[in-house]
Amino acid sequence: MSRPPFDDLSDALARLDVPLGVPEAQGLVCGLLCSRPASSAKSRWFSELLDAAALVPEALAERAADLRRLDHWFAAELAGLNDAELDFELALPDDERPLGERVAGRGEFCAGFVYGVGIGLSARGDPPLPSDARELLDDFMAIDGTDARSVGVEDESGEEEAFVELVEYVRMGVLLVNEELKPVSATSSTAPGADAAVH
């Protein structure tokens, strides 16, 4: 199942008044899917997004098409994380966008992912993570702190290459965390997680 186009997702989030961009929302759902069963990950993702939007029920009813788009998005991320060909990809601004914007998106994805994993783990009493997963989350937090303004001339091949390499590191890191936490999440409780707000 393919992910809806980036701009369509961005527009849907904006119409729903969700104060997150596409990369952070994707990071959040992926973090939840890595650390919780899919059914509870889905309900918590929608809860996080819509609680942050603070829309009244009447407003949500008028945005049914956008909610369906989020539902399709969730299904696409679930399929991507479990794809046998490792076809999962980060939802970032396309290559024609300024490098600084894409760097910022990468950091937002990492922030959302770490937060999502944290929610999932807190629902299970914060069990210890495998060392590889812990190191990856630490790296993601460091990447989240990357200052997009530090990016120099946008067309310098060295910076572009470094960006692509780090995106690939994050992509494979997500798949590794998913693989390492799945045996745990498959038998975990589906109790609601902590009532943390979207940052």
CA distance 80 to 1: 8
Torsion of CA 87, 92, 94, 99, to 10 degrees: -130
Average pLDDT, the chain: 86
Strands (DSSP E) along the chain, which ranges?
none
Q: Which residues in the chain land under pLDDT 50?
A: 148-149, 152-154, 184-199
Check residue 145 and give its pLDDT: 76
Domain ranges of the chain: 6-185
User: Domain 6-185 falls in which CATH fold?
Assistant: Four Helix Bundle (Hemerythrin (Met), subunit A) (1.20.120)
Instruction: Please name the residues in contact with 148: beta carbons below 8 A apart, sequence gap of 6 or more.
Output: 100, 101, 103, 104, 107
Report which of 14, 17, 15 is spatially closest to residue 52, judged by C-alpha positions. 17
- Enter the pTM of the model: 0.85
CA-angle at 102, arms to 96 and 107, nearest 5°: 170
Report which of 120, 123, 124 is spatially closest to residue 137, judged by C-alpha positions. 120
CA-angle at 46, arms to 83 and 75, nearest 5°: 20
Which amino acid type is present at position 107? G
